[in-house]
A and B are shown apart, each in its own frame.
Chain A
């Protein structure tokens, strides 16, 4: 280990990490480091290898090749070594529906051998974060989706891990609970907990310090959201035109247009040059009804679609 790497204090270090399932290579030679205190996002299409990577980090799935170091422990050789300092919240986290909120928390506190003396203060803090305090006696089965996720997160945090691994933590959660979950994550992160999470929602990825875009088991790109957004080729226009699909098809057939896709009620159109973009678009659309053309800042999702090269 050289001096430069020590200074970074990586909490996660992957080198050549590979995982095969029969003929399928789910994770294909990943190289990356997550630094202490980072909030790190992994995004990618279905089957990109996001969940597999997290499971390897959590020590629940051995790698087929390469090396994964978590908090200095080679988790391939010693899957149990880092576990006391890591929390892993899988997509289907193991809450017990027939136990109450308080009983679930006690169960995880026992599992992770949290000293009894330390429990009241931690529970108080977790209840405050999660707003679950008034519901300690409610069965987990009777909680809403958002509350279940907050309870799962609280259970994952009961042993004060240094590293928190979250697989799609906001899956199926309404916007209000989603904000609460993110507030908890940010506060944990400010307290020094390193967080690695996967998400299908690129607006969530924009809240991370750095983001790795995964595709077919490989890293397409890894950087801060702002820098990723700055690397998009061409300029992005939001075009409001009717009929939308015919407009999209006409734009796709136009030289100078790199990409055109439906996005909500508008079309997102990537052109080589912003300067003559509007002229180009209006000419391509001919007699179609065009309500507006404006240059917009690409979101991480636009960058993602470009990188994955999907024709949507």
Chain B
């Protein structure tokens, strides 16, 4: 059996007395689109930071792309893509300059860089717009460019932290179309989101609350946990969090 793309075992992170992530155990198989759900303060971002090697765990272990993020974060960087709602793009650089920057960062050079740059421009629909300032692009385009830059080095694993907050439905669908294409090509995608509509695009979902994993399954399995037949994923989310005694206040 092949190793899971992402594994977390009893992963825990404390900040002083506060337990941000409390013995989280889960795994994500290669090529899955895996959704991380939970209220603000549930521990989603802290978990992602541990999985990407940005934050050491207090206890427990993680394995990502065959590496230990806490010990091998430099090597891991070449195997991960990361995109957040805050976008990692520089607004005062042009589209082409942003792509160049990521090429340097990820050491994608020469002919491979030229091929990847052409791919990013095409998938983001930005051909002919290379000289435009990134700040001037519509949000949906910026987002696709940010995604392209995040996967410029063709990482096997992609982390998306609330990737589509605030974009319109058309741009959102176009974005998920790209994610789906990446997953079909074998990329493992872990996405955190507040929007249940995005959760529908995931193969599996993990629901966190107060630092703990409170549910995991396919969207269909999670729906089946509520007795009401037409429950939306949002109903499921709210009900499961309520059963756990509510969200962290603050």
Chain A interface (Cβ < 8 Å from any Cβ of B):
44-48, 134-135, 138, 142-147, 168, 171-179, 200-203, 243-245, 261-265, 301, 304-305, 308, 310, 312
Show 24 residue pairs from A and B whose CB-CB distance is below 8 angstroms, ordered by the A residue.
Answer: A45-B168, A46-B140, A46-B168, A46-B171, A135-B249, A143-B250, A144-B40, A144-B41, A168-B166, A174-B247, A175-B234, A176-B237, A200-B166, A200-B167, A200-B168, A200-B172, A203-B197, A245-B177, A261-B177, A262-B201, A265-B200, A305-B170, A310-B170, A312-B174
Interface residues of B in 163-196 (CB under 8 A from A): 165-174, 176-177, 180-181, 184, 194-196
Contacts of A176 in B (CB 8 A): 39, 237-238, 241, 247
Docked-complex contact B171 and A179, CB < 8 angstroms:
no
Docked-complex contact A173 and B194, CB < 8 angstroms:
yes
Docked-complex contact A312 and B200, CB < 8 angstroms:
no
B58: interface (CB < 8 Å): no
| Closest B residue, CB atoms, query A91 | B166
Cα A260 to Cα B164 with chains together (Å):
22
Docked-complex contact B165 and A172, CB < 8 angstroms:
yes
Contacts of B172 in A (CB 8 A): 200
Docked-complex contact A262 and B173, CB < 8 angstroms:
yes
Give, as a whole number of angstroms, the nearest-CB distance from B177 to chain A: 6
Docked-complex contact A46 and B139, CB < 8 angstroms:
yes
> Which range holds the interface residue count of chain B?
35 or more
Docked-complex contact A245 and B40, CB < 8 angstroms:
no
Most buried by B among A175, A201, A202: A175
B129: interface (CB < 8 Å): no
Give, as a whole number of angstroms, the nearest-CB distance from B183 to chain A: 10
Docked-complex contact B237 and A175, CB < 8 angstroms:
yes
Docked-complex contact A146 and B40, CB < 8 angstroms:
yes
Quick one: given A176-B39, A177-B40, are A264 and B250 in contact (CB under 8 Å)? no
Contact of B180 among A134, A174, A202, A245 (CB under 8 A): A245
Docked-complex contact A264 and B39, CB < 8 angstroms:
no
Quick one: given A45-B168, A168-B166, A175-B196, are A312 and B139 in contact (CB under 8 Å)? no
Interface residues of B in 8-59 (CB under 8 A from A): 38-41
Contacts of B38 in A (CB 8 A): 174
| Closest B residue, CB atoms, query A248 | B177
Contacts of B168 in A (CB 8 A): 44-46, 48, 200
Docked-complex contact A264 and B166, CB < 8 angstroms:
no
| Closest B residue, CB atoms, query A148 | B40
Contacts of A138 in B (CB 8 A): 250
Beyond the given A174-B40, A176-B247, A310-B170, please list 14 additional residue pairs across the A-B interface where CB-CB is below 8 A.
A45-B168, A172-B85, A174-B247, A177-B40, A178-B194, A200-B166, A245-B177, A245-B181, A245-B184, A261-B173, A261-B177, A265-B203, A265-B219, A301-B169
Contact of B170 among A145, A171, A308 (CB under 8 A): A308
B138: interface (CB < 8 Å): yes
Docked-complex contact A264 and B194, CB < 8 angstroms:
no
Contacts of B39 in A (CB 8 A): 146, 174-177
Give, as a whole number of angstroms, the nearest-CB distance from A198 to chain B: 10
Contact of B176 among A46, A174, A262 (CB under 8 A): A262
| Closest B residue, CB atoms, query A268 | B173
Cα A89 to Cα B175 with chains together (Å):
28
Of all A-B residue pairs in the complex, the 3 with the closest CB atoms, nearest first, are A264-B200, A312-B173, A45-B168
Contacts of B200 in A (CB 8 A): 263-265
Docked-complex contact A305 and B173, CB < 8 angstroms:
yes
Cα A312 to Cα B247 with chains together (Å):
35
Cα A171 to Cα B166 with chains together (Å):
6
Give, as a whole number of angstroms, the nearest-CB distance from A292 to chain B: 11
Contacts of B171 in A (CB 8 A): 45-46
